[in-house]
Amino acid sequence: MLQKFRVKNFKNFEDTLEWNLTSGKYTFSQQAVKNDIVKNSIIYGNNGTGKSNFTYAIMDITTHLTDFKRQEQHYNPYKNLNSRTEFAEFYYEFLFDNHKVTYSYKKESMSRVFDEVISIDDKIIIFENFIENERFVLLKGAETLNVSERDISLSFVKYIFTNTNLDSTDIQNKIFIQFRHFVEGMLYFGSGTAEGNFYQGFKSSNESIASVIINSGKIEELQKFLQNLDINYILEPGEDSEGNSVINVRFKNRSVNFYSVASHGTRVILVFFYWLLQLSDIKFLVVDEFDAFYHNEVSEAMLSIIRDSEVQSVFTSHNTSIMSNDLLRPDCYFVLQNNSIKNISSLTRKELRRAHNLEKMYNAGSFND
């Protein structure tokens, strides 16, 4: 799991911004935390504070360690426009089987990464100083790897990923492999883009949403999912004029393409359902403006599904109706403001209890830093 993240000189974050996911001591809504780390979080903040940019920063690690889909338009401009610093800087801290893994690096642009360092339990196992042309790898099975030179367009860590056959019985290698699998299981999708599947990370397949749902035999499950949200469509598989798979909605006299009758919000729910089918393989889920087109009951239902799964998640939202101790807890709700991000329990001197109305307190300004 991710337990800490720092970024500096990336987009609107000129100064260091640190996100600490260490959980508090609350005894309710325990399913929202795991191993003393917040598992499910929601980030609030006014327009212009950088909530979307923050999600892009979190997902930056996938742009150079995987070959999966990326949204390059999110990363241009890349560095902070006020800064004279040459690089953006990133730091990730993870916990895998009670072993701390840290990964730091600098970037000139989305595709040019330098000075990567990975530590396991505070012992450096991968190191690079690009300017000094110094680098090493201390992993069993990587002894013969040529590290004297590297392609400037390729991450040093990714080079290790693709050019070593590590002994998985070695504990350090095992943890390093878990780190790789976690990064490869990171997914971002934007819920405000219902015209298609707008995502980053996790996979490189361009198979359509309809094809995946139809080929996996999940049409009936989708229909029940929508009905549980009071969307009473009768669904059936179909094809468009070019022979592509589509999901149709059946009416008394004919069937029409789902996208021709579904509202924006219902289209977004379809995207959400598509990713739910793959939830067991997702390690870290990032959803920007996840409930921009849902009513409150749907937002709560979606959040509950993710909360009750094993996936670690972070959503951004303006919807304060879901700021409730019945869904999550005070250490799971974060506010991005004044170039800092803190959970709401650290933004008040009051001891927050389960009976507190968090939404009312937030709207009254109780958590303004």
Per-residue pLDDT tens for 281-327? 999 999 988 766 677 788 888 899 999 999 999 999 998 999 999 99
Tens of pLDDT, residue by residue over 83-103, are 889 999 999 999 999 999 999
Residues 301 and 244 in one domain: no
Q: How far is CA 208 from CA 42, 44, 196, 244, in A?
A: 29, 32, 9, 9
pLDDT bin (cut points 50, 70, 90) of residue 208 is: confident
* Strand spans (E) along 184-244: 186-190, 199-201, 235-239
Amino acid (1-letter code) at residue 123: K
> Among 45-59, 64-78, 283-297, which is the least confidently predicted range?
283-297
Residue 52 lies in a domain: yes
Give pLDDT, residue 293. 62
Residues 217 and 243 in one domain: yes
Residue 369 lies in a domain: no
Residue corresponding to tokens 């307190």:
361
**pLDDT (average), residues 139-148:** 89
**CA–CA–CA angle 17, 18, 19 (5° rounding):** 125
What is the CATH classification number for the domain harbouring 76? 3.40.50.300
pLDDT bin (cut points 50, 70, 90) of residue 204 is: low
Does pLDDT of 203 surpass 80?
A: no
Residue 332 lies in a domain: yes
Both tokens of 153, joined, read: 């367009």
* Strand spans (E) along 58-203: 88-96, 99-109, 112-120, 123-129, 134-137, 186-190, 199-201
Residue 279 lies in a domain: no
Does pLDDT of 195 surpass 50?
A: no
Residues 116 and 174 in one domain: yes
Q: What is the pTM of this model?
A: 0.93
Give pLDDT, residue 194. 43
Domain of 214, in residue numbers: 209-265
Distance from C-alpha of 329 to C-alpha of 53, rounded to nearest angstrom? 25
Residue 271 lies in a domain: no
Residues 219 and 292 in one domain: no
Residues 239 and 104 in one domain: no
Does pLDDT of 182 surpass 50?
A: yes
Residues 188 and 52 in one domain: yes
Residue 97 lies in a domain: yes
Residues 90 and 159 in one domain: yes
Residues 250 and 359 in one domain: no
Residue 280 lies in a domain: no
Residue predicted with more confidence, 64 or 168? 64
Give pLDDT, residue 206. 73
Amino acid (1-letter code) at residue 291: D
Residues 96 and 237 in one domain: no
> Among 57-66, 148-157, 217-226, which is the least confidently predicted range?
148-157
**pLDDT (average), residues 156-174:** 92
Residues 225 and 181 in one domain: no
CA torsion 158-159-164-166 (nearest 10°) is -30
Residue 272 lies in a domain: no
Residues 253 and 123 in one domain: no
Does pLDDT of 331 surpass 90?
A: yes
Residues 195 and 68 in one domain: yes
Total domains, the chain: 2
